Structure 1
Amino acid sequence: MKKLIAIITTVLLFIGQGCNTKKDENKMKNISINNTEQHYTFILNENVTRQKVSFKNRFGIVISADLYLPKNTGNNLPALAISGPYGAVKEQSSGLYANQLAARGFVTLAFDPSFTGESEGNPRDISSPDINTEDFSAAVDFLGLRSDVDKHKIGIIGICGFGGYALNAAAPDKRIKAVATTSMYDISRATANGYYDSKTPEERTKEYIQIGEQRWIDAKKGTTSYAPNSLKNITENAPQFVKEYADYYTTSRGFHPRSLNSNGSWSLTNSVTNMNAPILHYINEISPRPILIIAGENAHSRYFSETAYKNASEPKELLIIPNSVHTDLYDKIDIIPFDKLESFFKENLK
Structure 2
Amino acid sequence: MSLRYINQLAATVRRDHVHFPNRYGLNIAADLYYPKERKADFYPALIVGAPYGGTKEQGPAVYANELAQRGFVVLTFDQVYMGESGGQPRHVSSPELFAESFSASVDYLGIQVPFVDRNRIGVIGICGSAGFALSAAAVDPRIKAVVTASMYDITDLRGMMKPDKEQLDKMKMELAQQRWTDFANGQPEYKPSFPDHPYPSVDDLPDMDPINNEWFRFYAVPRGYHPNARGGFTTTSSLAMLQFSALDYIDEISPRPILFIYGDRAHSRAYSERAFDLASDPKEKYIVDDCEHIDLYDQVDKIPFTKIQDFFNQHLG
TM-score (norm 1): 0.84
| Equivalent position of 1:296 in the other structure | 263
Match of 2:95 in 1: 129
Offset at 1:99? 1.0
Deviations 1:269-293 (A, max 9, x none): 1111012211110101100001001
Distance 1:242 1:348 in 2: 37
Determine whether 1:267 maps to 2:234.
Answer: yes
Once residues 247 and 70 of structure 2 are traced to their aligned partners in structure 1, the CA distance between those partners, rounded to angstroms, is 30
What is the correspondence of 1:60-139 to structure 2 with a 5 Å cutoff?
60-73=25-38, 74-139=40-105
8 Å CA contact retained: 2:150, 2:262: yes
Post-superposition CA distance 1:165-187 (Å, at most 9, x none)? 00111111000110101000111
Q: Secondary structure at the match of 1:188?
A: coil
For 1:205-224, what aligned pairs fall within 5 Å after superposition? 205-224=169-188
Over 3 Å counting, the alpha-carbon distance change for 1:255 and 1:340 in structure 2 is same
Partner deviation per Cα, 1:119-167 (whole Å, 9 max, x = no partner): 0001101111111110000000111112101100000010000000001
| Other-structure match for 1:242 | 212
Structure 2 counterpart of 1:227 = 191
Report the Cα distance in structure 2 between the residues aligned to 1:228 and 1:143, rounded to whole angstroms: 33
User: Quick check: 1:41–1:253 contact (8 Å CA) kept in 2?
Assistant: no
Q: Which runs of 5+ in 1 are unaligned?
A: 1-36
> Which letter does structure 2 place at the counterpart of 1:185?
Y
Deviation, 1:241, is 2.2
* AA of the residue aligned to 2:185: K
Secondary structure of 1:269's match?
helix
Deviation at 1:228, TM superposition (A): 5.0
| Alignment-derived partner of residue 252 in structure 1 | 222
Aligned to 1:203: 167
Q: Distance in 2 between matches of 1:41 and 1:101?
A: 14
* Matches of 1:94 and 1:173, distance apart in 2: 22
Name the residue aligned to 1:161: 128
Q: Which residue of structure 1 aligns with residue 158 of structure 2?
A: 192
Report the alpha carbon displacement of residue 229 of structure 1 after superposing the two structures with TM: 3.3
Instruction: Name the SS for the 2:241 alignment partner.
Output: helix
Report which structure shows greater RCO (CA 8 Å, sep ≥6): 1
* Paired amino acid for 2:25: G
Q: Note if contact 2:30-2:78 (Cα within 8 Å) is conserved in structure 1.
A: yes
Name the residue aligned to 2:251. Answer: 284
Alignment partners' CA distance in 1, 2:254 and 2:118? 19
SS at match of 2:5: coil
Matched AA of 2:244: A
Q: Which runs of 4+ in 1 moved over 4 A?
A: 230-235
Q: Of 303, 308, 312, which aligns to 1:336?
A: 303
Distance 1:207 1:89 in 2: 29
1:40 is displaced (CA, Å) by: 5.0
Matches within 5 A, 1:172-187: 172-187=139-154
Q: Does the Cα contact within 8 Å between 2:192 and 2:233 map onto a contact in 1?
A: no
Local SS of the residue matching 2:142: coil
Q: CA deviation at 1:234?
A: 6.7
Residue 54 of structure 1 corresponds to 19
Are the aligned partners of 1:125 and 1:260 in contact in 2 as well (CA < 8 Å)?
no
**How far off is 1:226 after superposition?**
1.2
- How far apart are the structure 2 equivalents of 1:107 and 1:40? 21
- Cα pair distance change 1:40/1:61, threshold 3 Å: farther
Count matched residues: 307
SS in 1 for 2:46: strand
Q: Would you say the 8 A contact 2:22–2:101 is kept in 1?
A: yes
Give the superposed CA RMSD: 1.7
Distance in 2 of aligned mates of 1:287 and 1:321: 25
CA 1:228–1:287 in 2, change beyond 3 Å: closer, same or farther? closer
State the alpha-carbon separation in 2 of the partners of residues 90 and 56 from structure 1. 17
What is the identity percentage for the equivalent residue pairs of Structure 1 and Structure 2? 44
CA contact (8 A) 2:2 2:225 kept: no
| 2-structure distance, mates of 1:201, 1:296 | 33
CA distance in 1, matches of 2:44, 2:192: 42
**TM-score normalised by length of structure 2:** 0.93
User: Could you tell me how far apart the structure 2 residues matched to 1:100 and 1:276 are?
Assistant: 37
